[in-house]
Each structure stands twice: as structure tokens, then as C-alpha cells.
Amino acid sequence: MQDNPKKLPRLIIFGDAKRRYVTEAVEEFTSFAQGKAEILANCMRGDCLEDVLSRTDFAVVFGGDGTILSAARDLSETKVPVIGVNVGKLGFLAEFSIRELKELFERIITDSSLIDKRMILRCRVVGSQGEMFCSTAINDVVTTAGPPFHLVELKMTVNGEALASCLSDGLIISTPTGSTAHNLSAGGPILSANLSAMVITPLCPHSLSFRPIVIGAESELEVELLQINKGTSLVLDGQVRYELRLGEVINVSKHKGVFLVVNNPLRTRWDTLAGKLSWAEKPKYNTQEA
């Protein structure tokens, strides 16, 4: 009696074919994966159908963080873990090099402890005619002033309770995953990525006392537009844009889906912060005696 053949992991591939070296990296991995995995679809070619996603074990994403964010939104309700392969500049979310992916492949597909669950946001815009916009965000929901670049006034409530009104260049509502992105540049705090929380960070507030605040993930945040510009927009993950109108209300809450990301066992998140963003780097002391 013959043994049952080993079940191969089922993969789909995402990537930005316009990005330099991505096509070569995908071809290198596809060749490596022969006999080790079943590649159901290559979404770079547009053959990533919904029925394929439902049968997938892992998504392998080649590119930078932007490519991963785009793929993660597509996968937000599928519970498919993302293996990020850095073929970009920074690659904060893309934790593996192509060499590491090949060397660690067996462990990656068998060790469930490497899979990290991250919360994502659901963003709706409601106007006088009902829901005008609805999408998900992995990193952040940003309200940006836009041309003619006058200050905008936003009124915030949390679970129906008044939080604050803010005159500023806009507002960032970030997930823990996105806390090291736009939020960090605007002076917001770094959160451990597996926390369940939202960070509210004003963009250049016209106040010395308005500082970032962290609220629980189960909270429902509403942002009412009291004063905006012609070009004031809502931007999700730096990729999805909606042009806002006066009187509309932005509703942000925790999405029922999750972003599952496969961590690189060779480094921690804190290693990534230090190595790629120079976080907590020691001062460069002059060791020479005077």
C-alpha cells in the first residue's frame, strides 16, 4: 500500500509588474516552488478570482509596502496569511528577501506561530443621501486639507461622546500596523503591531495642547466636517481617495476582517524598527580624548 502524497500548500502571487526586479523575483520563486507548492493564481496577470482566494493557504506578495497594503485589502475577509517579499525601497511590512523566503520556506508554511493577526479599519462616509463611500484600511485613514490649503475644522466623537474639535491640516486615524507610517511622521506614538487600538493624530493642529490619543479598537469614531477646502479628501493607506463634501460624516471602526502577516523568524519587529528606521539609535559619541 502506497503512502498518501504530501499535500502541497496552495499559493497565490501578488506583485507590481511595473516595479523593478519584481518580475524576475516572481520567476525565481515560481521555479523554486515547483514540487514544493501549488500556485493557484498569479494576480499580477489578473487571474485572481474570488473562488481562488477561498482555496488559498498563503498569499506571497512581491514588492514594497504599498503592494502589500493593496493585497491585504483584497484579502481582508479571506483569512489568508500574507508573506511579504521585499523588492522595494524600505519594505517595512515586506519582511523577507527572496533568499530568506527560499531558505525558510518549509518553516514558513508549517509554523503557525509565525502568523501575526493585525486589526484593520472600516471607513464609511455618510452624507445627506446616505452612505457615499465605504472601504477598508490596513495602515490609516487620513483626512487631508487639500487645495487651497486653508485649515480645516473637524469635530470628533467617540461612541457618541464629544472628544474634540480641531483646526488643522487634517487628521490621521491609524491602526497599530500603521503607527510606524504617516502617524509616526506626524509625531504619533509607535504601537506594538498586534495590539487592538486606534491612534488619533492631528496634522499640524492650530493648538499647542492637541496631542495624539489612543482609543480602544471597539470604539466607533465619527468625524464631522465643519470647515473644509475644495480639495479636502479622505485617503486610505495612501492609495484609495474620496473627495469629501461639507456636512459629511466620516465613520471609522474596527473591521470584522483581519490582516494576517507571516513574520520573519530571523528578526523581531523591534529589529525592523532599529534597522530600517534607526529607532532608538545610540548617540554618536566622540570617543577621542580632547
pLDDT in tens, 163-181: 999 999 999 999 999 999 9
CB 56 within 8 A of CB 10: yes
Instruction: Say how far apart CA 170 and CA 166 lie, in whole Å.
Output: 9
pLDDT, mean over the chain: 91
Residue 25 cell numbers, joined: 523575483
Half-sphere exposure of 154 (CA within 13 A, CB side): 36
Confidence at residue 64, expressed as pLDDT on a 0 to 100 scale = 87
More confident residue, 277 or 15: 15
pLDDT in tens, 17-34: 888 889 999 999 999 999
pLDDT in tens, 232-255: 999 999 999 999 999 999 999 999
User: Which of 19-23, 40-44, 189-193 has maximum average pLDDT?
Assistant: 189-193
Select from 3.40.50.10330, 3.40.50.720, 3.40.50.300, 3.40.50.620 the CATH code of 10-110.
3.40.50.10330
Other Cβ atoms within 10 Å of 129 Cβ, number: 6
Other Cβ atoms within 10 Å of 254 Cβ, number: 19
44, 92, 141, 194, 219 from 119: Cα distances, Å: 26, 17, 13, 8, 13
**Looking at residues 93-102, what average pLDDT do you find?**
92
Instruction: Indicate the Cα dihedral angle 77, 25, 94, 140, nearest 10°.
Output: -60
The answer on pLDDT for 214 being more than 70 is yes
pTM over 0.85: yes
**For the chain, which residues make up each domain, given as ranges?**
10-110, 120-257
111 is known as an active-site residue: no
| Percent residues over pLDDT 70 in the chain | 94
User: Residue 48 — very low, low, confident or very high, per pLDDT cuts 50/70/90?
Assistant: confident
Residue 24 cell numbers, joined: 524576475
Select from 3.30.70.360, 3.10.580.10, 1.10.3720.10, 2.60.200.30 the CATH code of 120-257.
2.60.200.30
The one catalytic residue among 47, 57, 65, 237: 65
**Helix, strand, or coil here: 66?**
helix
Contacts of 161 (CB under 8 A, 6+ apart): none
